[in-house]
Amino acid sequence: MRDVVLFWAKKGVRIFRVDNPHTKPVPFWEWMIQEVQDVYPDCVFLAEAFTRPKMMKRLAKVGFTQSYSYFTWRETKHDLIEYLTELTTEECREYMRPNFFANTPDINPVYLQENGRAGHQVRLALAATLSPLYGLYNGYEICEATPMPGKEEYLNSEKYELRAWDFDAPDNIKDDIRLINRIRRDNPALWQFTDLTFLNAWNDNILCFYKCSAAKDNLVVVAVNLDAKEPQGASFEIPLWEFGLPDDAAIEAVDLVHDSRQTFNGKTQSLWLDPADRPYAIWRLIPPGSARN
C-alpha cells in the first residue's frame, strides 16, 4: 500500500484523500504517512473520517495533514459558535487542521437542498472564511442540489454517471467563489485557523466574527445571514479594542465585497443582509496610523 502511494507521488500526485481511514488500523497510517513524507515532505493526506470525535482527533495526531469535519452539519448560529470554539480553543487546535467542505460526493446537505442559490452562497462564505481550508464538490458552482428523495445524497451523482456541467448556467455563483477566493488570497488573517473571535450580533440569524493577524496589521470582519430565505438585520460590534481604541472611536474600513471605503463611528454598528442580493458582508479594518491602501 505504501508503494502504491509512492508510485503516484513520483508521478506528481501529492494530495491523497483517504476514504474511511478510521476503519483501518491506526498504527498503519502513522507508519505509512511517515514513510511517504520522508521521501515527499509536501504530500498532503486528508482524512475522510466522519466518525466519533475521539477517532477523528487520533487520526490527526498520527499524521493526517487535514481532516474532514462536522462543519457540513453545523447550520445554526449556536452550533457554529460551539463547534468552532471547540476546534480553535481546545487541545485539538494544536494538531487538527479541519477542512470545511460545504458538500462532498457523498453528502448533499439538506440545507443546500432547501435553500437554493442563497443557501449555497451562505455555506460558501462560512466555509471559506471560518477555515483556511475549504472544499466545494463539482456542481456547487451552479447550485446543483437535486437530492435522492429523503436522503442527503445527490440524485444525479458523478459517482454513477458522467456529467457534462454548464458552469455558465443561470444563477451560478462563480462570481462569489472568485471574489471570496481573492479576498482569502489578499488577507493573511484568513490564512490561519485559530485566530478566530466571534462578535456580538443581536440576531440569532446573523453570525459575526473576525480574524486578526498576529501583528494586527490585517483584521477582517465577516457577517453572514444564516437565513437564506429572508432578509435579516442586526446591531453588531466592531472590534475597536484590538487597536486599543475606546468604544466611541472611529475607524476606517474597506468593504471587500463592494470594493469601497467607509468609516465606522463607534463600536456598535448596524447591518442588513438580504439573501436575494448577497447574504454576507466582509470588511478589512484599517489600523489607526497605517497607510491608506
Catalytic residues, by residue number, are 19, 48
In this structure, the number of other CB atoms found within 10 A of the CB of residue 136 comes to: 18
Answer yes or no: are the C-beta atoms of 64 and 98 closer than 8 Å: no
Strand-pair partners of 174:
none
- Round to whole Å and give the CA distance between 273 and 236: 13
DSSP H helices in the chain: 2-10, 26-39, 53-61, 77-89, 110-130, 174-186
Q: Quick check: 68 and 88 in contact, CB under 8 A? A: no
Q: How far is CA 122 from each of CA 76, 172, 247, 259, rounded to the nearest angstrom?
A: 12, 14, 30, 20
Which of helix, strand or coil describes residue 200?
coil
What span, in angstroms and rounded, lies between the C-alpha atoms of 31 and 3? 13
DSSP string, 217-233: S-EEEEEEE--SSS-EE
